[in-house]
Chain A
Amino acid sequence: MSSQFTRFDPRAWQESGLLIALPRETPSRLQRHQPWKIAVALSVTLAGSAATGSFVGDAGATELLQPVPAAYVLEGSVARGRQPADSSRGPDIEKRLRELHALIVERGDQPGWLQRDSLDRVGKILGRVAEDYELPFPYIYASNDGELSAEWSFGNWEVDLTFDRSVERVIAFAIHSRSQEVEEFTLPLDRANAIDRIGRFAARFHDAA
Chain B
Amino acid sequence: MSGTGHSAALSDGEELLFRQVHPNCIQEGRIGKNAFDPTETREPDRLSVARETLTTPAAAYDLHVRTGHVSAGTWAVSVQECASLDLPARPDPTPVDPAHAFVDFAGLSKNATKKKARLLAKVAMDRGALYTPS
Contact = CB atoms under 8 A, between A and B. Distances in A.
B12 interface: no
Contacts of B125: 153
Contact of A151 (B32, B40, B115, B119): B32
A158 B37 CA distance: 15
A103 interface: yes
A149 B115 CA distance: 14
Contact of B119 (A139, A149, A175): A175
Given A139-B27, A142-B24, A143-B40, A151 B122 contact: no
Contact of A141 (B27, B115, B122, B123): B27
**Of A140, A141, A160, A180, most B-chain CB atoms within 10 Å:** A141
A139 B27 CA distance: 7
Contacts of B30: 91, 139, 151, 153
B119 A141 contact: no
Interface in A161-182: 173, 175, 177, 180, 182
B64 interface: no
Interface in B87-134: 115, 118-119, 122-123, 125
A149 B122 contact: no
Nearest to A182: B115
A151 B33 contact: yes
B25 A141 contact: yes
Interface string A136-149: 00011111100001
Contacts of B40: 143-144
B24 A91 contact: no
B33 A149 contact: yes
Contacts of B25: 141
Contacts of B123: 177
Contacts of B118: 158, 160, 173, 175
29 contacts: A91-B28, A91-B30, A96-B27, A139-B28, A140-B27, A141-B27, A141-B32, A142-B24, A143-B40, A144-B34, A144-B40, A149-B32, A149-B34, A151-B32, A151-B33, A153-B30, A153-B122, A153-B125, A158-B119, A158-B122, A160-B118, A173-B115, A175-B115, A175-B118, A175-B119, A177-B119, A180-B115, A180-B119, A182-B115
Given A158-B122, A173-B115, 8 more contacts: A91-B30, A99-B27, A140-B27, A143-B40, A144-B40, A151-B30, A158-B33, A175-B115
Interface of A: 91-92, 96, 99, 103, 139-144, 149, 151, 153, 158, 160, 173, 175, 177, 180, 182
